[in-house]
Structure 1
Amino acid sequence: MNSDIDKKNLILEKAKDMIITESYSSLSISKLTSELNISKGSFYTYFPSKDKMLGEILDEYIENITIFKNNLLENSKNIDECLDYYINSILNLTDDELKLELVITNLKRNYEVFNEENFRKLKIIACTMIDLVREVLSKYKKDISIEEKDIEKCSKMIFSIAEVFLIMENVDFDSDRFTFKTLDEVKKMYRSDDIKDHLEFIKKSIKKIIY
């Protein structure tokens, strides 16, 4: 692999680690380059600014969820299969995908420091998932009890249920302040039977809403 790509990816991965452990607002280019033992000039070779670096992380996540959305719609024949695909996808996230999920979760508490472009990307992330729910409900509207005029509201509500529930699973309630679990803790949780039970609970709750 090209050494420039290696170094760029190294910077991005270290930035993700520091966003998880310290938050995006606390992340400084000086500390990032010091941790990597590289010069600030090396950083600016790949990223004009901290915001541009964050933009690339958000772009990576947008690409991931767009692929997920397309695969779910293509590989599911009814709503139950859509829900099963969603749950299985979460249970089978790779370590790198889990890391990115935790990064995005952490970023959602720092959105007020985003520039306009990155805030727009954060909105794209939410809208992509809401659009997915809307497409599924519209596609199988004959199978559900939701009136067509309520599909938009129901899409946002279903998105919020799954989103907030999983965010709360990442919060460290044993801490004296609002912090998220470490990456190792999240990996352990997502490989446990508890998360399977929690996701099944989400699925049952969504079914009660739509059927």
Structure 2
Amino acid sequence: MVISFCARVSASTTHTWTTLSGTGADDVRVMTRQSMDDPGRPPSIVLNAATSFWLPVPPKRVFEFLRDENSRNEWDILSNGGIVQEMAHIANGRDIGNCVSLLRSANSSQSNMLILQESCTDQTASFVIYAPMDIVAMNVVLIGSDPDYVALLPSGFAILQDRGGMGDSGSGGSLLTVAFQILVDSAPTAKLSLGSVATINNLIACTVERIKAALSCDEFLV
């Protein structure tokens, strides 16, 4: 999912970012992609939104906060403030942070919806990437079907160390990039609506504010 996430938020000559605001700080940028005959992605118009901002918190702390299911309700609006449970955990390396998890919100209105999350970290960067996934699709994978044909729209976070900070990767500040993907319309020829842009803009803005508030309070407590 990390590879898919990075590919979908990378700009090109045919897919460019458009800035929604001109404030210069925490600008949200959007980009649309048309998906057709693309294994692992639903046939549709997909809207991407992303923003980057600085946090006076060490990258390791930001990574642990975002990947921990116990703190997910502090920033994830879609969890509705409910408890998020880890149903499965698969290690993917020596570092405890490198893993794939299957999560479920106990307070979700969609009882058949799961969250597939991949987290990975090394000395260069850390990622927490996730995508909603229904139980039917998960069962398809579990019985041995090709997982490349399960449609996922990964969203998540890329965490970089602030190069101005001193010390190792556990100290200094962090540059956090937040990126979301939402399905605009199942028809690949559909038009992008202002309502879809407003929805993803509000989602990303609220998420950023929640993360800032949660980590600021955490730092004061420390």
What's the TM-score, normalizing by structure 1? 0.27
What's the TM-score, normalizing by structure 2? 0.26
Q: Which structure has the highest strand share of the two?
A: 2
Larger Rg: 1
Q: Which structure has the highest helix share of the two?
A: 1
